[in-house]
């Protein structure tokens, strides 16, 4: 049935196939991924039997999103250990496949530390592999718990910022169960609002060029039966101008010590729009995304991706081929140059609040972030 915005509301609320799982097969353990390049057309699983396969899945965005990259990195180390590959080499090849999301390196480091500690304690390589797997499972479970807490804190914050309820929330990229051990970051807050009848509309920016919003957030919103509308990224300005956005909720890939937020390219323009239109701009991220070692936003490495992602349109079945140039449908003249940063940096002064599992940081300053670090996993 069409709603006031002329958009059909889907009713299916079946749980999605898990974004990532560990499976013990007779021939050895594997990491099984829901292949996100094929969504929403197909729910296809990718079975990684070794680290190079997992590295390729990360490179092509079959598995993606900051918290899930951390989980994948940890399981990747466990996979190498369990299959008798060189763990240090595996860790090196995994940790920086995508340089912006700090969670990837974090997950890899945790599993390696558990493996090394087990060996140092005189355990066998098999026992050390078990320790790496236990640590990967812990990273996974902690992220699920963080997701629940972020949803609670995020809901409380929305209650304060928007006391009337009936929220119209704009989000960008994808930040739900597809990127998390739980229900996600920003999307988990919107989902919690939906469950208590307080979400009037989820505005979903399509997120050019790889369409994480249109393909993945819309897929998750549809499954959850949320009222959602996909918009071209360039339509956000007129949406704000029409007074249709009550709050922006996004995730993050890395948050520097000065509170600058790296997230999917297109987030920073939304923050500027939000400030101009006096709308709260809220970042929802677990503390695993905080990076106190990076002093300021300007020092965050922004992943630059291939130009053909911009000059060609790659629909899901094409993305799944590995996204080589010339495989998509060209939309620019042959030889056109493209600017394709995967992320942008939003300065702290444009961020109303950062919601973590350890609490809400607002205002976002070096000191307030340092305080949350001192009471969380950094303590
Ligand atoms: O390039 P992607 O799809 O991995 O980018 C993901 C994002 O930018 C998300 O918004 C981010 O990881 C935060 S959601 C947990």
pLDDT at residue 13, as a whole number: 39
Who contacts 282 (Cβ-Cβ below 8 Å, separation ≥6)?
154, 157, 161, 186, 189, 247, 248, 249, 250, 351, 352, 353, 354, 355
Whats the size of the chain, residue-wise? 379
- % residues pLDDT > 90 (the chain): 88
Catalytic residue positions? 253
Interatomic CA distance for residues 190 and 188, integer angstroms: 5
CA distances from 49 to 55, 81, 127, 195, 373 (A): 11, 12, 20, 38, 36
- Among 61, 175, 233, the mutation site with the greatest number of ligand 1 atoms within 8 A of its Cβ is 175
pLDDT at residue 323, as a whole number: 62
**Residue 67 alpha carbon, nearest atom of ligand 1:** 15
Q: How far is the CA of 265 from the centre of ligand 1 (A)?
A: 9
Q: Ligand 1 pocket: which residues have CB below 6 Å?
A: 61, 64-67, 101, 173, 175, 179, 185, 212, 251-253, 263-264, 342
* ipTM, two decimals: 0.98
What is the full per-residue pLDDT of the chain (379 aa) written as tens digits?
Answer: 333 333 333 334 334 579 999 999 999 999 999 999 999 989 999 999 999 999 999 999 999 999 999 999 999 999 999 999 999 999 999 999 999 999 999 999 999 999 999 999 999 999 999 999 999 999 999 999 999 999 999 999 999 999 988 899 999 999 999 999 999 999 999 999 999 999 999 999 999 999 999 999 999 999 999 999 999 999 999 999 999 999 999 999 999 999 999 999 999 999 999 999 999 999 999 999 999 999 999 999 999 999 999 999 876 555 656 566 777 889 999 999 999 999 999 999 999 999 999 999 999 999 999 999 888 777 7
Who contacts 220 (Cβ-Cβ below 8 Å, separation ≥6)?
16, 174, 176, 177, 178, 184, 187
* Tens-digit pLDDT profile for residues 143-176: 999 999 999 999 999 999 999 888 999 999 999 9
DSSP letter assigned to residue 247:
E
Interatomic CA distance for residues 94 and 202, integer angstroms: 34
Q: Please name which of 114, 154, 133, 97 lies closest in space to residue 286, comparing C-alpha atoms.
A: 154
Annotated binding residue 64: yes
Q: How far is the CA of 65 from the centre of ligand 1 (A)?
A: 4
DSSP letter assigned to residue 162:
-
């Amino acid at each position: 049935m069409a709603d006031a915005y002329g958009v059909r509301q889907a009713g299916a609320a079946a749980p999605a196939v898990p974004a990532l799982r560990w499976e013990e097969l007779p021939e050895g353990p594997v990491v099984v991924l829901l292949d996100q390049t094929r969504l929403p057309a197909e729910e296809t699983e990718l079975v990684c039997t070794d680290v190079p396969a997992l590295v390729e899945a990360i490179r092509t965005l079959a598995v993606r999103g900051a918290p899930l990259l951390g989980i994948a990195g940890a399981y990747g180390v466990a996979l190498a250990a369990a299959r008798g590959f060189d763990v240090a080499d595996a860790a090196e090849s995994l940790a920086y496949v995508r340089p912006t999301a700090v969670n990837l390196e974090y997950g890899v480091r945790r599993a390696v530390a558990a493996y090394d500690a087990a060996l140092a304690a005189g355990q066998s390589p098999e026992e050390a592999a078990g320790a790496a797997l236990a640590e990967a499972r812990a990273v996974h479970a902690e992220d699920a718990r963080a997701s629940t807490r972020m949803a609670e804190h995020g809901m409380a914050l929305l209650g304060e910022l928007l006391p009337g309820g009936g929220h119209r929330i704009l989000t960008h990229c994808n930040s739900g169960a597809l990127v998390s051990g739980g229900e996600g970051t920003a999307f988990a807050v919107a989902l919690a609002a939906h469950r208590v009848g307080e979400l009037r509309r989820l505005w979903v920016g399509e997120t050019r060029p790889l369409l994480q919003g249109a393909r993945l957030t819309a897929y998750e919103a549809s499954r959850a039966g949320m009222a959602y509308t996909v918009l071209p990224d360039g339509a956000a300005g007129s949406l704000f101008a029409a007074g249709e956005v009550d709050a922006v909720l996004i995730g993050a890939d890395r948050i520097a010590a000065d509170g600058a937020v790296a997230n999917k390219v297109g987030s920073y323009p939304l923050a500027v729009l939000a400030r101009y239109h006096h709308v709260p701009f809220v970042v929802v991220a677990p503390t695993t995304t905080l990076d106190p070692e990076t002093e300021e936003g300007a020092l965050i490495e922004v992943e630059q991706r291939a130009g053909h992602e911009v000059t060609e349109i790659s629909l899901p079945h094409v993305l799944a081929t590995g996204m080589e140039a010339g495989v998509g449908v060209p939309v620019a003249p042959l030889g056109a140059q493209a600017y394709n940063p995967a992320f942008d940096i939003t300065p702290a002064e444009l961020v109303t609040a950062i919601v973590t599992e350890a609490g809400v940081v607002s205002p976002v300053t070096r000191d307030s972030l340092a305080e949350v670090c001192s009471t969380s996993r950094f303590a």
